Each structure stands twice: as structure tokens, then as C-alpha cells.
């Protein structure tokens, strides 16, 4: 039978509790949680003690058995009372006294448990004697499991059970007339069991030490992994900024030059520059997307969109390339038309990647994009008549940076990230991507995602109506940008939109310019000397409150475009974000939004929009 549990509480001595302080209280509190968990198991322990009493009453009679049972149950109630006392605030001296009482309660309970087994053995029948041996072994095993980590407590609480085994050995030797063989057998049994318990205690203690060491190593590994992940995020953020900054000059001026009068040869060469820059930007965005997905920081939007807009946008983007390669390129979405709730940007990204892959690996034949609605599931398939995929390669098709073989990389190019990102995005949407392919005949990629259909398509506005609805963006624009190339790109793009900006070189000059005049919008770089963009934004927002000036829209115009960075911009008080390299259409849209008065926006007040 098991004794009253003392948990780790008994490992904390009265001296340490009296010496006290915060550490001692924490140790006592931890130990008391274990003791309390045991003490609250009143009904199972009362049933177990009743089972012992049922055997004992046949050996020692109802009076002694009843007295024993009352003493055991009283110990249970004392244990519960001690748990309640430990839950109240006490001084270290009081905690030390309570610890002593717990130790005494445990010791008395153990002695009573072992003592009743001695009585059952001494006055019981053969079945009672067998029960006494089994119960003594079970009680000793419990002491082993409960107190193996505390050698002194283990010895103290195991002693009553060793005494029980010695009494049984003595009685057996006595009954056999003290024959040498009987004495040696009984002593061997006691020594073997005692050795078993002490050897088991040592092995358990070693296992506990090994477990603690493994946990410590796991914690160290977790800390190292977190540090490595933070270093990776910092590296990616830095590289993103450093690559986007010069790329902004390339793509920005390419867009500006496209509006000039050029010869056909010049326009072709400019197109090569622009496509090359766009390809580099796409690779950079893929790496950042994958990093955000792995870090669990990529959040999906939940907004209404028309499937036709997403599908036609992807179709239009690749029509020229399909025509150039002489491929038949078909789009069929008639069975899935309508308005849906979801993330159109990520859906478009998946569709772009699948169509791009189909075009890359198809030299002749056709590419067909089909969308159908199957209950609550939107299914989009992209089928091609390209090179196909070998069965043994299908398993690693969606692996990161995998191009199936090195010849694929040399012949077709790419980073091997597109399909990996598609799979991760589909998973985030609670969907999946599957593939069916025959080597030499072509492949079909099937995207299935659950999207709520909220209605039919809206009528498409005419070109004249769309132009009439566009607001006039002639406005007073203040731009803070320290890089000379980026200043030139920004001025050129804004001039083509009919905007003549005032450009300053740092955040401090931006704050001074804001105080000296009225502005419709501020384009704010983030990383600048003297005063950065976030500090300048906070200063402007504080001054607006102090001077009771209307809120001036501030748009972050920066190469720092990772999601956690964009969140910082909004927290600092910015109203929007345009990533570098600057896309003229995104800049135009951001300025158009800024030109709408706050009260005219849905819901009123300023909105945090990401251009």
C-alpha cells in the first residue's frame, strides 16, 4: 500500500525555508504543488486504505483495524489542510514549520502503512501473508518512484518497509527452526529487494539527470535556433533594402523612359532592361515570401474580389509570351465566375507561378487555364503539353530550391522556389495543389481552395466612366529621400503624373518643411541620416496634436518591405506604404488614395493601406 505523498516539498529542508527569501518560497511553492496534487486525491487513497483494512480485519480484528483506518484518514485530512495553508501567504519561518509538519505526517503515514502489513503477516492466514508481501513491495516501489531524487528522504521512508521485510524474514526463519538454509534464503531475499530498490533509485536518478541535461540542451538549441532565425530575418531585411535601392533606379528610370519618344530598337533594349529588373525583383520577393511563410508571419487578407479580374490579369500578363512561342493559350472560367471572399493577391501569385511554369516548360502545343466551382471548393487547373515530369521526380516537385536535376536549371532557369511557395500559400488557404503528369506529354497542376462565393460579378464600367472617376492628383507633395538616384527617379515619375514635389534629404528637414507649409501628402523614406523616417513621422504626429493641425497623410516610400517592417510604419503613424523599386501604377494609386479626404473613406478616419 502506498504512503501519503510528500512530493518535492520534502526536499526543501526547514533550514533552507527559514533562511528563506524569494528562492526558498519558490522552491516550497513548486514542491507544494506536487504535494497538493497528491493530497487532493482523497477518494482513491481512501478506497486503497479500505482495501487494506478489509484484509486486516480478518487478521487483527475490527477494533485495531478501525483505529488504523481512522489514523490513516486523519492523515489524509491533515494533508489537505496543509495544502490549504501553503496556498496562503506566510513568512519563511512559518513555511519552515509547515514543511516539518508535512514531513512528520508523511513519516507517520508510512510507518502506519508498513505496521499494518506486519500485523497482517503475523496474525493472518496464508492468503493474508501473501497480500502483506505484495503490499509491502508496492509501498516500497512507490517510495522509490516518489523520492528517488532525494536520497535522505528515500532512505527514511523506505526504512519502514525494509523493517517489514526483515520481520517477515525473521518469522520465516523462526518457523523453520533457524535452519541455516532458511536463514540464508530469507536474508538473501531481503538483501536482494533492498539492493533492487537502491540500485533502481540510482538508475532513476541518472535517468533524471540525463533528462535534465537533454532538456537543457534542447533549450539551448531552441535559443540558438531563435537567434539564427533572428539573424536570418535581419540579413534578409538588410539585403532586401540594399538590393531594392539600386533596383529602384533601374526600374524607375526604365518606366520613366518608356513614356518618352523612342525608336523601336531603343524601346526593345529598354524592354530588356525592364524585364531583367522585374525578374530580379520577382526572385527577391520569392525569397522574402518563403522566409515569411517559414517564420509564420505571412498573413492572408480576407476581402471581396472577382475571380474574373484575377484570372484575366494573369492571362493578360502572359499572353504576349505565349504568342511569341506560338502556343495556344486559353482561359475558361465560365463555371466559376462570381465574387469571392479571400486573398486575391496570393491567389493571383499562385496562378502566375503555375502559368509561368507551364510556359517555361512548353515549346509547342497549348496551355489551358480552367476554373470550376465544386460545392464550396474553387478548383483552378493549369494544363500544358510540355515536357512532363517523370514519376520518380513527382515526390520532390514541391521541394524548395529543387529543379529536379541540374540540366533543368541550365536549360530553363529559375530558383526552384515558385512551386514551393504555391504549396505553402495553398496550405495557408486550407487548400492543396496536386499534379498529374506524363513524361513527354505534359502536366496538369490543380489548385483546390475553399472560398466563399458571395455573389455574381458586378457590371464593368466603361473606359470613359473609369477615367471620369479618377481624382485629380495635382497636389502639394513633400518627399524625404536621401539617395540622389532615388530622388531623381521619384521626381521623374511624379513629374509624369503632373506633380512637382519638394524633396528634402532627411527626416529633420521633412519636419521643418512640414511646419513651414501645408502639404497634401508626404512621401517618407525610412532609413535616412540625421533623423529617420519613423522618428520624423512620430514628430509630425505629435506636432499635429499640439498645434491642432489636420492630419497629413504620410506614405512610407522605402526598400524595407518585409511584413514586420510595414507594421512598424503603421504603428509609427504612417498611412500607407509603397515598396521600392517604385512601380508607377502603385505610386499613382497611393497618391490617389491620399487625395481622398478622411471623411470620404469608408468608415471615416484615416486608413492604413498598403499600396
Tens-place pLDDT, residues 263-293: 888 887 787 777 777 767 766 776 766 666 6
Query: Is residue 154 pLDDT above 80, yes or no?
Result: no
Quote the CA–CA distance of 21 and 13 in Å, as a whole number.
Answer: 14
What sign does the dihedral 145-150-153-158 (CA atoms) show? positive
Lowest pLDDT segment from 173-177, 227-231, 357-361, 446-450: 227-231
CB 532 within 8 A of CB 540: no
Give the number of other CB atoms < 10 A from CB of residue 440: 11
Q: 469 versus 75: which is more confidently predicted?
A: 75
Closest CA to 199 of 236, 602, 207: 207
For residue 552, the model assigns a pLDDT of 92
Closest CA to 431 of 490, 498, 377: 377
For residue 384, the model assigns a pLDDT of 93
CB 154 within 8 A of CB 144: yes
Quote the CA–CA distance of 27 and 31 in Å, as a whole number.
Answer: 6
The mean predicted confidence, pLDDT, of the chain is 78
Q: 92 versus 414: which is more confidently predicted?
A: 92
For residue 292, the model assigns a pLDDT of 66
CB 158 within 8 A of CB 144: yes
Query: Is residue 607 pLDDT above 50, yes or no?
Result: no
Residue 417 backbone dihedrals phi, psi, to 5 degrees: -100, -25
* CB burial of residue 168 (10 Å; 0-12, 13-18, 19+): buried
For residue 469, the model assigns a pLDDT of 46
Determine the average pLDDT of the residues in 394-411.
Answer: 55
Q: Which of 17-21, 86-90, 159-163, 577-581 has the highest mean pLDDT?
A: 159-163
- Report the run of H or E that residue 435 belongs to, with start and end: strand 432-438
Greatest pairwise CA separation for the chain in angstroms: 123
* pLDDT tens profile 92-127: 888 778 778 877 887 888 899 889 999 999 898 888
Query: Is residue 606 pLDDT above 80, yes or no?
Result: no
For residue 191, the model assigns a pLDDT of 81
Q: How confident is the model at residue 400 (pLDDT cuts 50, 70, 90)?
A: low
CB 590 within 8 A of CB 578: yes
For residue 514, the model assigns a pLDDT of 94
Residue 521 cell numbers, joined: 501628402
Quote the CA–CA distance of 505 and 147 in Å, as a whole number.
Answer: 71
CB 539 within 8 A of CB 506: no
Lowest pLDDT segment from 311-320, 326-335, 344-353, 400-409: 400-409
The strands making up 452-455's β-sheet, listed across from edge to edge, are 303-306, 339-342, 452-455
Determine the average pLDDT of the residues in 303-320.
Answer: 85
Query: Is residue 2 pLDDT above 60, yes or no?
Result: no
DSSP string, 398-428: TSTT--SSHHHHHHH---S-HHHHHHHHHHH
For residue 411, the model assigns a pLDDT of 46
Query: Is residue 479 pLDDT above 90, yes or no?
Result: yes
Residue 458 backbone dihedrals phi, psi, to 5 degrees: -90, 155
- Category of 536 on φ-ψ map: left (φ > 0), alpha (ψ -120 to 50) or beta: alpha
Lowest pLDDT segment from 47-51, 74-78, 411-415: 411-415
Burial call 299-328: b when 16+ CB within 10 Å, e when fewer: eeeeeebbbbebbeebbeebeeebeeeebe
Q: How confident is the model at residue 52 (pLDDT cuts 50, 70, 90)?
A: confident
Lowest pLDDT segment from 403-412, 454-463, 546-555: 403-412
* pLDDT tens profile 368-395: 999 999 888 999 999 999 888 888 777 7
- Residue with C-alpha cell 524569494? 22
Q: How confident is the model at residue 296 (pLDDT cuts 50, 70, 90)?
A: low
For residue 366, the model assigns a pLDDT of 92
Q: 597 versus 20: which is more confidently predicted?
A: 597
Query: Is residue 511 pLDDT above 90, yes or no?
Result: yes
CB 541 within 8 A of CB 555: no
Quote the CA–CA distance of 156 and 140 in Å, as a whole number.
Answer: 11
Lowest pLDDT segment from 106-120, 467-481, 543-557, 575-589: 467-481
Determine the average pLDDT of the residues in 496-510.
Answer: 90
The secondary structure of residue 176, as a DSSP letter, is T
For residue 39, the model assigns a pLDDT of 62
For residue 419, the model assigns a pLDDT of 82
Q: How confident is the model at residue 300 (pLDDT cuts 50, 70, 90)?
A: confident
CB 59 within 8 A of CB 120: yes
- What is the pTM assigned to this prediction? 0.47
Quote the CA–CA distance of 158 and 197 in Å, as a whole number.
Answer: 9
Q: Which residues are CB-contacts of 27 (< 8 A; sequence separation ≥ 6)? A: 12, 16
Amino acid at each position: 500500500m502506498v504512503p501519503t505523498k510528500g512530493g518535492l516539498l520534502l526536499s526543501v529542508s526547514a533550514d533552507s525555508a527559514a533562511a528563506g527569501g524569494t528562492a526558498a518560497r519558490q522552491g516550497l511553492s513548486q514542491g507544494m504543488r506536487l504535494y497538493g496534487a497528491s493530497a487532493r486525491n482523497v477518494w482513491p487513497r481512501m478506497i486503497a486504505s479500505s482495501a487494506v483494512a478489509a484484509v486486516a480485519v480478518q487478521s487483527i480484528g475490527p477494533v485495531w483495524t478501525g483505529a488504523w483506518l481512522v489514523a490513516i484518514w486523519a492523515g489524509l485530512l491533515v494533508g489537505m489542510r496543509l495544502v490549504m495553508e501553503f496556498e496562503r501567504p506566510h513568512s519563511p519561518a512559518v513555511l519552515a514549520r509547515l514543511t516539518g509538519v508535512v514531513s512528520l505526517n508523511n513519516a507517520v503515514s508510512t510507518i502506519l502503512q508498513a505496521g499494518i502489513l506486519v500485523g497482517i503477516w503475523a496474525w493472518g492466514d496464508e492468503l493474508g501473508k501473501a497480500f502483506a508481501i505484495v503490499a509491502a513491495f508496492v509501498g516500497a516501489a512507490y517510495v522509490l518512484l516518489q523520492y528517488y531524487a532525494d536520497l535522505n528522504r528515500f532512505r527514511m521512508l523506505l526504512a519502514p518497509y525494509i523493517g517489514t521485510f526483515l520481520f517477515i524474514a525473521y518469522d520465516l526463519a523462526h518457523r523453520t527452526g533457524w535452519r541455516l538454509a532458511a536463514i540464508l534464503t530469507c536474508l538473501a531475499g531481503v538483501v536482494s529487494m533492498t539492493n533492487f530498490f537502491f540500485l533502481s533509485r540510482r538508475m532513476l536518478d541518472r535517468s533524471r539527470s540525463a533528462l535534465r541535461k537533454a532538456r537543457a540542451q534542447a533549450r539551448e538549441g531552441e535559443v540558438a535556433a531563435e537567434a539564427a532565425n533572428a539573424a536570418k530575418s535581419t540579413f534578409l531585411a538588410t539585403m532586401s533594402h540594399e538590393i531594392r535601392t539600386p533596383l529602384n533606379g533601374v526600374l524607375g528610370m526604365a518606366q520613366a523612359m518608356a513614356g518618352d519618344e523612342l525608336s523601336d530598337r531603343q524601346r526593345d533594349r529598354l524592354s530588356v532592361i525592364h524585364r531583367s529588373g522585374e525578374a530580379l525583383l520577382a526572385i527577391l520577393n520569392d525569397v522574402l515570401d518563403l522566409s515569411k511563410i517559414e517564420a509564420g508571419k505571412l498573413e492572408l487578407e480576407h476581402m471581396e474580389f472577382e475571380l474574373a479580374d484575377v484570372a484575366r490579369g494573369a492571362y493578360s500578363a502572359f499572353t504576349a509570351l505565349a504568342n511569341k512561342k506560338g502556343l495556344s493559350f486559353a482561359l475558361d472560367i465560365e463555371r466559376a465566375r462570381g465574387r469571392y471572399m479571400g486573398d486575391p493577391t496570393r491567389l493571383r501569385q499562385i496562378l502566375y507561378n503555375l502559368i509561368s511554369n507551364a510556359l517555361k516548360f512548353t515549346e509547342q502545343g497549348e496551355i489551358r487555364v480552367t476554373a470550376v466551382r465544386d460545392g464550396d471548393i474553387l478548383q483552378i487547373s493549369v494544363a500544358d503539353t510540355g515536357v512532363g515530369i517523370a514519376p520518380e521526380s513527382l515526390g520532390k516537385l514541391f521541394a524548395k530550391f529543387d529543379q529536379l536535376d541540374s540540366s533543368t536549371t541550365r536549360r530553363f532557369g529559375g530558383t526552384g522556389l515558385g512551386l514551393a511557395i504555391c504549396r505553402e500559400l495553398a496550405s495557408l488557404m486550407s487548400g492543396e495543389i496536386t499534379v498529374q503528369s506524363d513524361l513527354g506529354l505534359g502536366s496538369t497542376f490543380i489548385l483546390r481552395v475553399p472560398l466563399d462565393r458571395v455573389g455574381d460579378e458586378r457590371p464593368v464600367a466603361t473606359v470613359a466612366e473609369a477615367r471620369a472617376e479618377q481624382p485629380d492628383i495635382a497636389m502639394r507633395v513633400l518627399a524625404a529621400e536621401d539617395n540622389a538616384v532615388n530622388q531623381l527617379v521619384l521626381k521623374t515619375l511624379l513629374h509624369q503624373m503632373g506633380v512637382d514635389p519638394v524633396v528634402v534629404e532627411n527626416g529633420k528637414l521633412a519636419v521643418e518643411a512640414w511646419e513651414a507649409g501645408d502639404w497634401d501628402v508626404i512621401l517618407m523614406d525610412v532609413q535616412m541620416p540625421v533623423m529617420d523616417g519613423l522618428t520624423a513621422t512620430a514628430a509630425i504626429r505629435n506636432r499635429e496634436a499640439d498645434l491642432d493641425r489636420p492630419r497629413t497623410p504620410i506614405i512610407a516610400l522605402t526598400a524595407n518591405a518585409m511584413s514586420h517592417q510595414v507594421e512598424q510604419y503603421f504603428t509609427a503613424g504612417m498611412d500607407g506604404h509603397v515598396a521600392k523599386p517604385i512601380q508607377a501604377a502603385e505610386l499613382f494609386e497611393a497618391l490617389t488614395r491620399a487625395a481622398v479626404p478622411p471623411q470620404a473613406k469608408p468608415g471615416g478616419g484615416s486608413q492604413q493601406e498598403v499600396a
